[in-house]
Structure 1
Amino acid sequence: MVATEPARGRHRKGRIAQVPGPGEPAGRRHHQHHGPWDGENAPRDGRLRLDLGSVQLPVPPDATLIAEPDPSGPLRAVHVMVPEGRLTVSAFAAPRTGGLWAELVEELGAQLHNEGATIRRDRGEWGRELVARNGDVVARVVAVEGPRWLLRGVGTGPAQHALTLHTMLRDMVRGTVVVRSPDPLPVRSLLPLEVPDDVPEPFRETLYQTLPTRPRQIAGQDGPVIPMMLPQKADSGTSPGRS
């Protein structure tokens, strides 16, 4: 359903954002006052969000939604398709101490480089970002670490629309609310996604069409392929739930 979350925390004016250094939780101090938001501190900002269980997304009105199922059944992602390209925001279980993005950004950069993409590393609103280009398609990956979760945003589309698309990506990430499960979860595991029964009419048709009764893959566009699932490590441990 579309939900506007109640506020427990408020935006504080006059606070200077500090970009984390290597190994620090990505954007943790910044997001607590500017977004994205933890479910326990969601703002009362009147913004409509699509409730997908673990994430509540502010979806642009001109977007269409496409679900990407995992072969085993659960959803891997819900992609937001806009004229400029594709936006994907996903939440994962992370250590209480943070630092997961410092590992993932290097792993993802190496993987995409090995697959032939040109890689550039930037620093943005929440710290380290990754930009991958393959031909005329550009993907930007940003991440923010909250309390026992990591929110990752990916914007992929033609290079000519990259500036507009990546501005939209930051706005969507900034406005997202993450609802962390109370259960312990393996670090790097995707927080469960659910499609509500009352999806708003503008998004309903395309989203329901991509929720198959049997597993199938969504055809990807040419360009850098950002994996929706994170590689698991034998020693990654678990991310504790809320007490």
Structure 2
Amino acid sequence: MFRRRRRERERAAPVAEEASVPQRESGPWDADEPHPEGERVDLGGMLLPIGPGFEVQLNVAGDQIVGAVILVDGSALQVHAFAAPKRSGIWDEVRGELKREVTASGGTAEEVEGPFGVELAARVRQGEALQPVRFCGIDGPRWFLRAVISGKAAVDAEAAATLEDVVRDIVVVRGDHPMPPKEPIELRLPPEARQAMEQQAAQTGRPDLNPFERGPEITETR
């Protein structure tokens, strides 16, 4: 009798609907989630938005491209993508490391609330002067994006808005292969830049041309 009543109560209990996962309203985006179309440079591990007057330079470590810099109107945005654990972010840890590095080199760093959450408002020593820099971090699904804003945009809200919109529109292509946390997600030259490099090498007769001697650049002008 008790078993029958328990079964009846179970049948009568309403079945909870699975909570739907809300879609984010802005990026940076993961390549596997829905994201708005836009004009972006395909760097392999990252799709980087470009706009009028943007100049893009690539950061190189050894023979690998590990980051990109956007220069526009006296401001700079440097972005790097890293692998991260599946179930936890690393920005809290990375932020602490950055704060210690900045202060150890004679600069200052303060945690403040920014458009992407907690960020570091820092003054980084360059020679005898201290330059304002913003360190922003975004934890994504199995990746972490670090954005460093310097120049005019570090202190001017209107100038910063342009670069913040770039960060919001970045698409990170993490891939499915295993990577240890904090390992840079490798980037690559876009096809048109690689083709230009190969053509230059053919014309100069230098097949061993190093495209990173002066730093690869992609300029968007309209």
- Give the TM-score, by structure 2 length: 0.71
**Shift in Å, 1:168:** 2.4
Q: Please give the alpha-carbon distance, in whole angstroms, between the structure 1 residues aligned to 2:74 and 2:170.
A: 20
- For 1:41, the equivalent position in structure 2 comes to 33
| Contact 1:155 1:165 survives alignment (8 Å) | no
Q: Among 60, 85, 99, which residue is 1:69 paired with? A: 60
Larger mean CA deviation between 154-163 and 51-60 belongs to 154-163
**How many matched pairs?**
179
Structure 1 residues 1-243: aligned runs within 5 Å: 32-43=24-35, 45-70=36-61, 72-134=62-124, 135=129, 137-158=131-152, 162-199=156-193, 213=210
Find the aligned partners of 1:104 and 1:86 in 2 and give their Cα distance: 21
Q: What's the secondary structure of 1:186's corresponding residue? A: coil
Shift of residue 126 of structure 1? 2.6
Structure-2 separation of matches of 1:131 and 1:153: 12
* Per-residue deviation, 1:161: 5.3
Distance (whole Å) between structure 2 residues aligned to residue 191 and residue 77 of structure 1: 9
Structure 1 residue runs of 5 or longer lacking an equivalent are: 1-28, 219-243
Q: Which has the larger radius of gyration?
A: 2
**More displaced stretch, 186-195 vs 153-162:** 153-162
Take 1:194 and 1:188, find their aligned partners in 2: how far apart are those partners?
A: 18
Question: For 1:109 and 1:68, how far apart are their aligned partners in 2?
Answer: 22
Query: Per the alignment, in what secondary structure is the counterpart of residue 111 of structure 1?
Result: helix
Residue type of the alignment partner of 1:65:
V
Structure 1 SS opposite 2:24: helix
Letter of the aligned partner of 1:35 in structure 2? G
User: Contact 2:66 / 2:185 at 8 angstroms: preserved in 1?
Assistant: no
Q: Which protein has the bigger strand share?
A: 2
| 1:160–1:91 CA distance, 2 compared to 1 (3 A) | closer
CA RMSD of aligned residues (A): 2.7
In the alignment, is the contact (CA less than 8 A) between 1:138 and 1:159 conserved in 2? no
User: Cα distance, 1:77 vs. partner?
Assistant: 1.8
Find the aligned partners of 1:124 and 1:31 in 2 and give their Cα distance.
21
Match of 1:241 in 2: none
Matched-pair contact (CA < 8 Å) for 2:120–2:134: yes
Judging changes above 3 Å, is the alpha-carbon distance between structure 1 residues 46 and 183 closer, same or farther for their aligned structure 2 residues?
closer
CA apart distance, 1:149: 0.4
Q: Post-superposition shift, 1:32?
A: 2.9
Q: Distance in 2 between matches of 1:81 and 1:30?
A: 34
Q: How far is the alpha carbon of 1:99 from its aligned partner?
A: 2.9
Partner of 1:6: none
In the TM superposition, what whole-angstrom CA distance separates every residue of 1:97-135 from its partner, at most 9, and x where no partner exists? 123111000110110011111212111233210111144
- Decide which moves more: 101-110 or 54-63: 54-63
Is the contact made by 1:54 and 1:192 (CA closer than 8 Å) also made in structure 2? Answer: yes
Which range moved further: 155-164 or 184-193?
155-164
Q: Sort the Cα spacing of 1:164 and 1:151 in 2 relative to 1 into closer, same or farther, 3 A.
A: same
Q: Percent identity?
A: 30
TM-score (norm 1): 0.65
Q: Is the 8 A contact 2:43 2:190 kept in 1?
A: yes
- Asked if the contact 1:55/1:176 (under 8 Å) is kept, the reply is yes
